[in-house]
């Protein structure tokens, strides 16, 4: 078993050694990691328009996530101090308590076509549903390669709205997020739908509200890991349960609660080259599925088992193929660290990380307060920004934390006095 104790205290080159010695990264992956230029400008220029450069962000590793009985080390891309520390901390406690279970309910994408100008919506709906097999065949004929790989169009649903008849097509996109596959199929069946109904298509497009790609992660944390003091641990567990309830009833809190979840989710989604805007949009729509915006996770204090039990469900249409995934060498490096999971496994990891992140934030919020841990790491960022060396950082941090106001000017003053 690999020991991660002290990993956070190492410098990056020592962390590379640790990854190499423990065979957590391939030789090729290590080369990529140690190269300074991870995304060639020529590749960047193929990924977006009007490219003039690249913007670098820290790539971190949150080790030791036990998910469905396997250990994973999660690459995270984030600019925010304390996010990776919090994820690592939560992963440790959750592993000791038995780890995460992650379940992928289904993995299909949804496309929609909105038809207008119809006189009899119900009649048009019936006509479409009668032709479901033919429409699915037409959709599949437009993208035969996904059918060859075992995917393809699966089901048609039709909803009547005051002005629109909306046709939804569910598609198994296998390892891809599938925007191109879905949009190609939707556009291919548009003329058939117009002919069948006499209506006109307003648009045909993938929906990011990926309700056919729901994933649930669950975990438990033994009370003894909340605090060594039994009474204190019980109070913390009660408060985490209450914090979860608060996020169900107050949208102001729900938004921040979910932001905390996305601190983790976005970091892994970005590291794996996925479309985080799509995943955020789908998850926020899901958070409002009942008509009011709610926290995406729930925590319950199981007083008999002496555990706090967490659960998080959201749409997770994450991909391991397609888009810029194969183009960006840093993204390939992230997949290397993850040991090249398939899309369903990756979806489970992403949601588990979201739950871990949420646990750490809630524990801090209802315990010592968010500032204690956050400020410690904020102080480290300020120290580095002021120009402190690795050796000077610890002393700078402890001095900064004693200051009433912590900012760059104060950090620079402290650094000057250290010299």
Spatial distance between the Cα atoms of 131 and 152, rounded to a whole number of angstroms = 17
Under DSSP, the state recorded for 304 is: T
Q: How far is the CB of 85 from ligand HMG (least distance, A)?
A: 3
Q: Is 89 in the site for ligand HMG (CB under 6 A)?
A: yes
Q: Is 205 in the site for ligand HMG (CB under 6 A)?
A: no
Q: How far is the CB of 101 from ligand HMG (least distance, A)?
A: 22
Binding track over 152-191 against ligand HMG, x by CB under 6 A:
----------------------------------------
Segment near ligand HMG (CB under 6 A), from 83-91, 115-123, 222-230, 408-416? Answer: 83-91
Active site residue 143: no
- CA 190 to chain CA centroid, nearest Å: 33
CB environment 233-248: b (16+ within 10 A), e (fewer)? bbebbebbbebbeebe
Active site residue 259: yes
Q: Which of 80, 187, 250, 280 is catalytic?
A: 80
Segment near ligand HMG (CB under 6 A), from 35-43, 258-266, 344-352, 403-411? Answer: 258-266
Spatial distance between the Cα atoms of 70 and 157, rounded to a whole number of angstroms = 38
Spatial distance between the Cα atoms of 263 and 34, rounded to a whole number of angstroms = 26
DSSP 13-40: HHHHHHHHHTT-S-HHHHHHHH-S--S-
Q: Is 86 in the site for ligand HMG (CB under 6 A)?
A: yes
Contacts of 221 (CB under 8 A, 6+ apart): 93, 94, 97, 307, 308, 310, 359
Active site residue 374: yes
Residues 350-369, interacting with ligand HMG (CB under 6 A): 360-362, 364-365
Spatial distance between the Cα atoms of 402 and 179, rounded to a whole number of angstroms = 51
Angle of helix 132-142 relative to helix 121-130, nearest 10 degrees, comes to 70
Spatial distance between the Cα atoms of 209 and 283, rounded to a whole number of angstroms = 7
Among 1, 5, 53, 402, binds ligand HMG (CB under 6 A): 5
Count the residues of the shown chain that bind ligand HMG, applying the rule CB under 6 A.
26
- To 10 degrees, the CA torsion angle through 91, 95, 97, 100? 80
Q: Is 297 in the site for ligand HMG (CB under 6 A)?
A: no
For residue 81, how many other CB atoms are within 10 A of its CB? 19
Tell which residue, 74, 110, 29, 28, has the closest CA to residue 272. Answer: 74
Contacts of 174 (CB under 8 A, 6+ apart): 146, 149, 150, 151, 321, 343
Burial of residue 182, with CB atoms counted within 10 A of its CB: 0-12 exposed, 13-18 middle, 19 or more buried:
buried
Spatial distance between the Cα atoms of 89 and 356, rounded to a whole number of angstroms = 9
User: Cβ closer to ligand HMG: 264 or 273?
Assistant: 264
Q: Which of 10, 259, 413, 416 is catalytic?
A: 259
Q: Is 1 in the site for ligand HMG (CB under 6 A)?
A: no
Q: Is 400 in the site for ligand HMG (CB under 6 A)?
A: no
User: Cβ closer to ligand HMG: 185 or 361?
Assistant: 361
Residue with token string 């194969």: 326
Q: In what order do the strands lie in the sheet with 165-172?
A: 152-160, 165-172, 109-116, 200-207
Q: How far is the CB of 385 from ligand HMG (least distance, A)?
A: 16
Q: How far is the CB of 301 from ligand HMG (least distance, A)?
A: 17
Q: Is 378 in the site for ligand HMG (CB under 6 A)?
A: no
Q: Is 322 in the site for ligand HMG (CB under 6 A)?
A: no
Segment near ligand HMG (CB under 6 A), from 81-89, 230-238, 275-283, 343-351? Answer: 81-89
Q: Is 101 in the site for ligand HMG (CB under 6 A)?
A: no
Among 61, 74, 83, 146, binds ligand HMG (CB under 6 A): 83
Q: How far is the CB of 245 from ligand HMG (least distance, A)?
A: 13
Residue with token string 């999660």: 74
Q: Is 256 in the site for ligand HMG (CB under 6 A)?
A: yes
User: Cβ closer to ligand HMG: 83 or 115?
Assistant: 83
Segment near ligand HMG (CB under 6 A), from 161-169, 175-183, 252-260, 397-405? Answer: 252-260
Report H helices in 131-178: 132-142, 144-148
Q: How far is the CB of 68 from ligand HMG (least distance, A)?
A: 21
Q: Which residues are catalytic?
A: 80, 259, 275, 374
- Which positions touch ligand HMG (CB under 6 A)? 5, 7-8, 80, 82-86, 88-89, 92, 256-257, 259-260, 263, 360-362, 364-365, 370, 373-374, 377
């Amino acid at each position: 078993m690999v020991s991660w104790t002290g990993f956070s205290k190492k410098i990056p080159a020592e962390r590379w050694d640790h990854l190499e010695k423990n065979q957590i990264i391939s030789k090729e992956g290590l080369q990529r990691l140690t190269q300074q230029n991870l995304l060639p400008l020529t590749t960047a220029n193929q990924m977006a328009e009007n490219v003039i450069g690249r913007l670098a962000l820290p790539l971190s590793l949150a080790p030791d996530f036990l998910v469905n009985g396997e250990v994973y080390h999660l690459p995270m891309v984030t600019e925010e101090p304390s996010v990776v520390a919090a994820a690592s901390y939560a992963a440790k406690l959750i592993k000791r308590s038995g780890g995460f279970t992650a379940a992928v309910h289904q993995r299909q994408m949804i496309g929609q076509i909105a038809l207008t100008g119809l006189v009899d919506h119900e009649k048009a709906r019936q006509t479409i549903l009668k032709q479901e097999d033919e429409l699915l065949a037409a959709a599949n004929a437009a993208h035969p390669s996904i059918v060859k790989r075992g995917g393809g169009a699966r089901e048609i649903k039709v909803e009547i709205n005051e002005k629109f008849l909306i046709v939804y097509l569910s598609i198994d996109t296998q390892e891809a997020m599938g925007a191109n596959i879905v949009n190609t199929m939707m556009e291919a069946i548009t003329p058939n739908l117009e002919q069948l109904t006499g209506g006109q298509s307003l648009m045909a497009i993938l929906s990011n509200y990926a309700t056919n790609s729901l994933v649930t992660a669950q975990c438990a944390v033994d009370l003894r890991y909340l605090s060594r003091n039994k009474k204190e641990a019980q109070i913390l567990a009660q408060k985490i349960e209450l914090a979860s309830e608060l996020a169900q009833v107050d949208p102001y809190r729900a938004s921040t609660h979910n932001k905390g979840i996305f601190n983790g989710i976005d970091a892994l989604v970005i590291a794996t080259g996925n479309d985080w805007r799509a995943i955020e949009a789908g998850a926020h729509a899901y958070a409002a599925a009942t008509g009011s915006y709610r926290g995406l996770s729930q925590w319950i204090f199981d007083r008999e088992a002496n555990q706090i039990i967490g659960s998080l469900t959201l749409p997770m249409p994450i991909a391991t193929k397609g888009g810029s995934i194969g183009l960006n060498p840093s993204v390939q490096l992230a997949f290397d660290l993850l040991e090249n999971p398939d899309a369903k496994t990756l979806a489970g990891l992403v949601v588990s990380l979201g739950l871990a992140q949420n646990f750490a934030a809630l524990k801090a919020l209802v315990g010592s307060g968010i500032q204690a841990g956050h400020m410690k790491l904020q102080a480290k960022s300020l120290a580095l920004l002021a120009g402190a060396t690795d050796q000077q950082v610890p002393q700078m941090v402890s001095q900064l934390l004693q200051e009433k106001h912590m900012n760059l000017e104060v950090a620079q003053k402290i650094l000057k006095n250290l010299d």
